[in-house]
Structure 1
Amino acid sequence: MSNPSSSTQTRSGLLPIPPLPEDLPKIELTENARQVLIRRYVRRNDDGTPAESVDEMFWRVAYNIAKVEVSFGNPDVMTRAREFYILLTSKKFFPNSPTFTGAGTPLGQLAACFVLPIVDDMGRDSMGIFQTLRDAALIQQTGGGNGFSFSRLRPKGTVVKSSSGQATGPVGFLRVYDHAFGEIAQGGTRRGANMGVLRVDHPDIEEFITCKTDENAITNFNISVGITDAFMRAVKEDAEWELRFPDVTDPRYRTFRGTLEQAEQEGIPIRTYKKVRARDLFNKIVKQAHHNGEPGVLFLDAANRSNPVPHLYQLEATNPCGEQYLGPYENCCLGSVNLAQHLGDNGTVDWEGLRQSVVLSTIFLDDVVEANAYVPAVPQLREAAMRARRIGLGIMGLADLMYHCGIRYGSPEGQEFAAQVMEFIRYHAMQTSIELAQQRGAFPAIHGSIYDPENLKWAPPQSIVPYTHDYGRPPIDWDIITEGIRKHGIRNAAQTTIAPTGTIATVAGCEGYGCEPVFALAYIRHVNDNGKDLQLIYASPAFEKAIARAGIEAEKRQEILEQIMREGTCQHIKDLPEAIRNVFVVSADITAEEHVRMQAALQAFVDNSLSKTINFPEGATEEDVATAYMLAWELGCKGITVYVTGSREKVVLETLKTAEKKKGETDEKEEVEKSPVPQPLMLWQETKKPRPQILPGYTLNIDTPLGKTFVTINENGGGQPFEVFLNSAKAGSDTAAVSEAIGRLISYILRMASPIPPIDRLREVIHQLSGIGGGRSLGFGPNRVRSLPDGIAQALERYYDMWHERHTTSHASKEEMPQNGNGTHTESPSSSALPLFKIGDLCPECGQASVVNEEGCRKCYSCGYSEC
């Protein structure tokens, strides 16, 4: 706690602010959420020690955002700061991560995402290829991500008149940008996230579509194809499609900065490079997206139909996760209302509490626009931000609220409920923005925009689904909004966006990130109980309450939770009441069409766009993906990202069932078994026998900083260790690859010809692996595991001790060391208290195998780490 008698507090890397008032409430957080905040948001001194507490961090953000209101004529900064602090610490609203990390610091960059223009110029133009690369690098150093449209770059192979060379083309420069960004640590904490866009009529579009077929290529970019209505109509009509670009030899081309359509309007000749069948090109996009989720699709015409400032620019690109369309140099300060903190009594919505949160959150985000330092070395950023004053208020915890209200995500009722909630938020965000315009002034570019009071073109949004249910929502009168704009204008050119909310949703305790459904109902947590490893099954709190209310006995509830752990869903459990199974769906239970329709229902009341992934089961076909694309376009979505389970990761959720399946696959590996063996020699007093079809073995497990690892040691006919299999993380991940490599090497050492008995060779292996340190350790004292190799050594040492016990004690029984024939495992002690979500790839921050592809991004379900 800061000294209340001090008027200001000065800490390393922080600007002085008044001390945290003693009477303000302290935030209530889970230990995991608190650790995430400390790792990600709490500022540190030069020696690495925290420069502030978690509560002081929230006060730093609240005060530094509130203090800009002095410029708006509000002298009572402390009152506003207290309101913001209570809003944040109640977890009813969180801004995006850069606001937490940048507020009150000399850097002061508070925005998560920017879009930068790229024009076909190598050095003269301020928007040229390498000038933009320089601007993007400066942004990424402050913690921001970037979006780019490469559509203005001339096609690959085009003759460059000034040098008589050939043009590199959009994909070539995309690779240049990708390599550069790979060397830049974003904000000192993570690599930069970026979006690359190319129009579907660009001559290089076919190369662009397949440029990420190899997942290890262009790793610092998400890519999306900019789709037009004309192209989608051509697909439906099975028509021909022209790949075109302005004539680069025309003198007007050198200074032209508009779109292809604008070039036509200005009389610049357009050259057709190639004609293709529209369906063939569409199918290439679909095939590649089915393969690994990329490219995504952006519906440019849908976005531009609601472009608030068409007199300034046409929208061509988005931020890295695709939810934020922006003009040149624009950014958007994002924030999300936590619907999980707006639960009413008896399965209702706390509408009044939600209204109050929306009002204050809108004010907060408008203050962020003012407080943001942007990047002084790129002055166009501040100019663009002040011109339109975009904000992006969104949601998180929609799935939590739907569980509470007993509504199935994806169902027709679920679509209506989501639409009603989002309409309520959009309405009160706009009403607040109008009031701010009255107090502070409308955004400067309002004249000529769709919100121009003298020529109002904006029309109230309409739901695409019928409203047939009464959820107790207060009345909404859009005529009040229309009249308010005519009278006062509006403060923010854009008001709503639904972002991924990776880290902030983890801290807020949401089960559902952003507008997504819950990913899984249950997971395993390992706890050390006096040296014994206990496996505790944790389930969705809402689900646990529901089955308790249903009168299911405690023993049966535990059995249900164990079944959920096996399958990752409750849909197969016939003992559950149908009403519970109907409501408690997870992402895999929802059809692709339901995902699309939920997105469209929300999109109707989001003036920008939203981050949403359309999940398909493992057996989905390319035709299924094509159908989803067409439906998304027809329903008015502004973009779509698909992910077919297994297309990037062999296992998305490792339940007990999938873990056993993987174990079986590991046992069937033939690479080691088929290795050539030298002719047997008289070694260690015994002839080495060929490997029989069946070998007895033992499986031990141990928790490591990279997750639980299963160590299987099989013995030959002489009772000596013969081979070792290591099973950790998921198939196809870096951790699994390292584990397999270590296992193969140990197996080779045990099987090679040598006068040293295999058990003694194993002793040397243990000696070599023991004590190797990694990025972090797990446990304390004798149970401390310093790394994956150290954990493997500890498991092997336990086997080594038990092997000697078996061979020196004539009465040793098989029960002393259970065999693995029936899947029985010997538990190794561990002091792990971290939740081990076995749902994805290795997390570079916490080390857990829980990074999944979702919402156009990759994020960790253990610690909240996000690549975007």
Structure 2
Amino acid sequence: MNANDHMFAATMPPQEVSVDVLREKYAKGSENSIDEVRARVARALASHEAEPLREEMEQRFLWAQERGFVPAGRINSAAGLGIKATLMNCFVQPVGDSITGSHDGLPGIYTAVAEAAETMRRGGGVGYDFSPIRPAGSVVRGTRSRASGPVSYMEVFDASCRTVESAGARRGAQMGVLRIDHPDVERFIAAKDGGAFSNFNLSVGVTDEFMAAVLGDGEIELRHQAEPGPDAMADGAYRRDDGLWVYQRVRARDLWDKVMHSTYDHAEPGVLFIDRMNAENNLYYVERLAATNPCGEQPLPPYGCCDLGSLNLTHYVRSPFTIDAHFDFDTMREVAAIGVRMLDLALDATQWPLPQQAAEGRDKRRVGLGFMGLGSALVMLGIRYDSDEGREMAARIARELRDATYAASIALAQEKGPFPLFDAQRYLDGQFVQRLPDALRAEIALHGIRNSHLLSIAPTGTISLAFADNASNGIEPAFSWVYHRKKRMPDDTTRTYEVADHAWRLYRHLGHDVGEGSLPRQFVTALEMSAHDHLRMMEAVQPYIDTAISKTVNVPADYPYGEFKDLYTGAWRAGLKGLATYRPNSVTGSVLSAVPAPPPAPSPAQPNSAETDPLRRRFESRPIGELESVTTKVEYSTQEGKKAVYLTISFIRVDGVFDGREVRIERPFEFFMPANQRSDGQQWITSTMRLLSMAARAGSSIAKALGDMREVVWEKGPVRCGFLTREDGVQVPVYHDSEVAAIAFMLQRVLIGRGFLDSYGNQVPVPELDRLLRLRSAAHASLVGAVTRETGTIAVPARPAEKCPECGARALQRVDGCARCGECHYIGSCG
């Protein structure tokens, strides 16, 4: 490799956001640069080599990192520090059908909770298959009771994850899976409709049998080994000859539509094609796959684990943006071989959360080498991502990467021995291994192979920012060439960064015009291509990846539902192992958006600027009509006894223009508590109402103010105030951390009732406010929430937006396993 090939890139100053992300997440102690982090990682992994090789390998490991190998975040943030953190990204935790102890070789529910908590405490992302847990209403003979079902027990795992992440710097990440033929699958599909499970991604495990029934308009059995309760028996449940109980038979297309409608509206559940996962599994002969890690790129068995790394493909583009542009496959193969060795050593260097995971790691030695920057690299080569040429290039890169990694692992087996569960004949009979070149298969037969699996394409999140100058994420194209990312600083101020795609920055750095309309044809972003083009890219690459690909297929909000469903059936026909989609809508909003440069600061004569309130961005308004007020009596209980106050919110209607369209909305204008309630204990309520009123009139965010109030804690113990209705219709009391939080909760309830906030206190977008007001005016009745497309019933968000750790906005959502903020574009944990 010619070092001069990268001189043009080296002269680009690093992006400020990249430096800050590196220092905050990966540089430890006195480290301040990428070189220092790389040196620590190289030294830490080389220390697990045989003594004569350590110095040489440390230099080779450093060389590989300088030329595009980027270990995953767990390795960069923990290797060589002597802390009790895992270097593994991916885990699957088994869960059995018992409370404690074990059942059918699987740990009981609360044992599994404890084991998963230990794994997350050490930094691992965890997936679960909840299918073994008996359905709701089934018989529990030991206690002469009825089971509550897997969805109810998922709440325990969700709460545990929330508690663990609150004690550490890294957010927890979980994937919950339930088979499509489990009797509780409909409850699972709707599990997030009530806002529960904010610490879970959910996926349905879909079988080939089910997909055949969908396409053939047949029925499937919802079945389980647990005995049904009297109600199910009265409805016709019966036992098969093999001992399984059939709870009911359902039309496959009806059940598939429920999955598709939920995914269309809320981006969840995702779909895992579990039969395809198992058919392509190199270890089909010793394990069964039923779940994946939180991002979906690693199907794993019980206690399965894997570490990750990626090649930055932009490093191998020579003469970019010229007619001589080409890809340096020789260097990529050389770096890939060293990457395999480093990931294999990470299995020896890691701290294992559980002994069962250590045994899995030792016996199978799974690693997952993938790539980042595919979208950026194609742009630099002059190739459109959504073209046949783009797919052909991606497939060739994946094929060369496959062959290089398998050759490297064979060489490691010659040096250090194959993985303990290697069986040459059965391994070579695997579907994926049968597609390897004959020369590699012959070498495997002769020498074995060090690692059971070698390839995985994961989301690369912050490591793309910190180590790759924001090369495009994993297999994805660029979402936007330039966007702005806001970050909350320690002094509670907000800082705005310009974040640019690496290819776009390099094109500008080389002196080309990046003005509107001047970019060449290959500059195509994710939302400028069709959903089927995203799918075809996965189809082109998957045959060369022995595990799976984490990719989100973005579709526009107006994407037809029928075509949306076709994406999933097309993914199954194409042999993919799963699919995740994201469609912006009035319920979930959009996760990321390209943001123009910030406008000039307003003059003192313009105090109510669009920057102070999301409602007023691109929305110039004028008040109309009189105020309309709503008064509610708030009763709550504290350790000091029961209390009651009356609260009033006045609303004003405004006309305005939003995105070039005339709209009319209703928004709060005044918050009020009657003056005769000014006791010593409630003076703060009056002052709070006045401050909220000032904020409302000034155009500040009421949603954020109430959200902040709900986080206020006092020392007097919990406050009971209000009720929420569970999925089964039972009302449960709500407890708060203070009187302030209780009052904020009730104010949110009023604003939710008027449709100003969604069911979790997040701001409803202007177009939806306009639609709701028109509906309410036409019907002369209030609506709570948003009316669904088909039934006219109340729809609530798939999950409450959480508070972003960077900017503080309640706009944090999980998509394809990654925590993303729709306000500041923060990208957090990805598995």
Aligned to 2:338: 360
Aligned match for 2:541, one of 602, 615, 624? 602
Give the letter for the 1:246 counterpart: Q
- CA distance, structure 2, for counterparts of residue 313 and residue 722 of structure 1: 59
Aligned match for 1:649, one of 582, 589, 608? 589
Q: 1:630 to 1:725 in 2, by over 3 A?
A: farther
| Deviation at residue 668 of structure 1 after TM alignment | 4.4
Give the letter for the 1:497 counterpart: S
User: Which digits, 9 at most, give the CA deviation of each residue in 1:260-279, with x for residues without a partner?
Assistant: xxx99xx7411110111100
What are the residue-to-residue correspondences of 1:409-558 with 2, within 5 Å? 409-447=385-423, 450-451=426-427, 456-458=429-431, 478-508=437-467, 509-524=469-484, 540=501, 542-543=503-504, 546=507, 557-558=514-515
User: Which digits, 9 at most, give the CA deviation of each residue in 1:19-60, with x for residues without a partner?
Assistant: xxxxxx99985442232122112335xxxxx57876443322
Aligned match for 1:243, one of 217, 222, 242? 222
- CA distance, structure 1, for counterparts of residue 499 and residue 24 of structure 2: 24
- CA distance, structure 2, for counterparts of residue 639 and residue 842 of structure 1: 29
- CA distance, structure 2, for counterparts of residue 535 and residue 413 of structure 1: 37
Aligned match for 1:270, one of 240, 244, 252? 244
What are the residue-to-residue correspondences of 1:148-547 with 2, within 5 Å? 148-185=128-165, 188-214=168-194, 216-248=195-227, 268-345=242-319, 346-375=324-353, 378-447=354-423, 450-451=426-427, 456-458=429-431, 478-508=437-467, 509-524=469-484, 540=501, 542-543=503-504, 546=507
Question: Does residue 587 of the first structure (1) align with residue 587 of the second (2)?
Answer: no
Q: Secondary structure at the match of 1:866?
A: strand
Aligned match for 1:115, one of 92, 103, 108? 92
| Deviation at residue 544 of structure 1 after TM alignment | 6.0
What are the residue-to-residue correspondences of 1:792-811 with 2, within 5 Å? none
Q: 1:154 to 1:93 in 2, by over 3 A?
A: same
- CA distance, structure 1, for counterparts of residue 111 and residue 652 of structure 2: 63
Q: TM-score, normalised by structure 2?
A: 0.70
| Deviation at residue 549 of structure 1 after TM alignment | 7.9
Q: Secondary structure at the match of 2:45?
A: helix
| Contact persistence 1:625–1:642 (CA under 8 A) | no
| Deviation at residue 736 of structure 1 after TM alignment | 10
Aligned to 2:785: none
- CA distance, structure 1, for counterparts of residue 565 and residue 181 of structure 2: 19
| Contact persistence 1:641–1:856 (CA under 8 A) | no
Q: Which has the higher strand share?
A: 2
What is the root-mean-square deviation of aligned Cα atoms in Å?
Answer: 3.9
Q: Secondary structure at the match of 1:154?
A: coil
| Deviation at residue 671 of structure 1 after TM alignment | 10
Q: Secondary structure at the match of 1:360?
A: helix
Aligned to 2:28: 43
Aligned match for 1:58, one of 31, 38, 43? 38
Q: Secondary structure at the match of 2:111?
A: helix
Q: Secondary structure at the match of 2:829?
A: coil
Aligned match for 1:724, one of 673, 681, 697? 697
| Contact persistence 2:398–2:541 (CA under 8 A) | yes
User: Which digits, 9 at most, give the CA deviation of each residue in 1:506-560, with x for residues without a partner?
Assistant: 1121331011110101235899xxxxx99997754534665898975xxxx54x2
- CA distance, structure 2, for counterparts of residue 333 and residue 61 of structure 1: 14
Give the letter for the 1:164 counterpart: R
- CA distance, structure 2, for counterparts of residue 520 and residue 228 of structure 1: 36
Name which structure has the greater RCO, CA cutoff 8 Å, separation 6+: 2
- CA distance, structure 1, for counterparts of residue 816 and residue 95 of structure 2: 26
| Deviation at residue 448 of structure 1 after TM alignment | 7.1
User: Which digits, 9 at most, give the CA deviation of each residue in 1:194-234, with x for residues without a partner?
Assistant: 001000000000100010123x3101110100000110010
User: Which digits, 9 at most, give the CA deviation of each residue in 1:695-745, with x for residues without a partner?
Assistant: 9xxxxxxxxxxxxxxxx9xxxxxxxx99734367xxx98589779x9xxxx
Aligned to 1:791: none
- CA distance, structure 2, for counterparts of residue 229 and residue 671 of structure 1: 58
Q: Secondary structure at the match of 1:213?
A: coil
Q: TM-score, normalised by structure 1?
A: 0.67
Give the letter for the 1:354 counterpart: M
- CA distance, structure 1, for counterparts of residue 49 and residue 826 of structure 2: 35
Q: 1:347 to 1:457 in 2, by over 3 A?
A: same
Moved over 6 A (4+): 25-28, 533-538, 547-551, 657-661, 669-673, 690-695, 735-739
Higher-Rg member (1/2): 1
- CA distance, structure 1, for counterparts of residue 130 and residue 150 of structure 2: 6
Q: 1:426 to 1:175 in 2, by over 3 A?
A: same
Aligned to 2:110: 130
- CA distance, structure 2, for counterparts of residue 387 and residue 694 of structure 1: 67
| Deviation at residue 152 of structure 1 after TM alignment | 0.7
| Deviation at residue 605 of structure 1 after TM alignment | 0.7
Aligned match for 2:69, one of 70, 92, 96? 92
| Contact persistence 1:111–1:372 (CA under 8 A) | yes
| Contact persistence 2:470–2:502 (CA under 8 A) | no
Aligned match for 1:143, one of 112, 117, 123? 123
| Contact persistence 1:399–1:409 (CA under 8 A) | yes
- CA distance, structure 2, for counterparts of residue 221 and residue 322 of structure 1: 12
Give the letter for the 1:427 counterpart: D
Aligned to 2:56: 79
Q: 1:284 to 1:669 in 2, by over 3 A?
A: farther
| Deviation at residue 191 of structure 1 after TM alignment | 2.7
Q: 1:484 to 1:384 in 2, by over 3 A?
A: same
What are the residue-to-residue correspondences of 1:554-565 with 2, within 5 Å? 557-558=514-515, 560=516
User: Which digits, 9 at most, give the CA deviation of each residue in 1:152-180, with x for residues without a partner?
Assistant: 11111111010001112111111121112
Aligned to 2:48: 68
When structure 1 is superposed on structure 2, of 538-547 and 141-150 the one drifting more is 538-547
Give the letter for the 1:585 counterpart: V
- CA distance, structure 1, for counterparts of residue 35 and residue 699 of structure 2: 43
Identity of aligned residues (%): 32
Q: Secondary structure at the match of 1:272?
A: strand
Q: 1:75 to 1:150 in 2, by over 3 A?
A: same
| Contact persistence 1:450–1:458 (CA under 8 A) | no
